[in-house]
Amino acid sequence: MTRPPHTAAAPPAFRPWTTRRRELGEGLRHTGDRLVTVDILDGTLTALDPAEPGDGEALLRLDIPLGAVAPLAGHPGHWLAAAGTGAAVLAPDGSRTWLARPGAAAPARSRVNDGCCDPSGRFWFGTMPYGGERGLGRLHRVDHDGSVTTVVDGLTIPNGPAFTADGTVMYLADSGEGRIDRFRVRPEDGRLLDRDTHVVFAPGNGGPDGMVVDDGGCLWVAVWGGGVVHRYAPDGTLVAVLRLPAVQPTSPVLVAGTLFVATATIGLVPPPAGSPGSGSRHDGRVLAAVVGVSAPAAHPAVLCPGTPGVPSDAIAARPSAGVISTEVL
Cα separation values, 294 from 15, 25, 115, 223, Å:
18, 22, 20, 19
- The set of residues, in sequence order, having a beta carbon less than 8 Å from that of 152 and lying 6+ positions away, is 138, 139, 158, 172, 192, 328, 329
Type of residue at 240:
A
209 in active site:
yes
Q: Which helix (H) or strand (E) holds 300?
A: none
306 burial (CB, 10 Å; 0-12 / 13-18 / 19+) is: middle
Residues paired with 112 in a beta bridge:
127
The answer to whether 43 touches 88, Cβ cutoff 8 Å, is no
Catalytic residue among 39, 114, 174, 209: 209
Burial class (CB in 10 A: 0-12, 13-18, 19+), 319: exposed
Query: What is the distance between the alpha carbons of residues 44 and 36, in angstroms, rounded to a whole number?
Result: 10
Rounded Cα distance between 292 and 173, Å, is: 25
| Dist CA 221 CA 77 (whole Å) | 29
Q: Which helix (H) or strand (E) holds 163?
A: strand 158-163
SS (HEC) of 41-89: CCCEEEEECCCCCCCCEEEEECCCCEEEEEEECCCCCCEEEEECCEEEE
List residues with catalytic annotation.
209
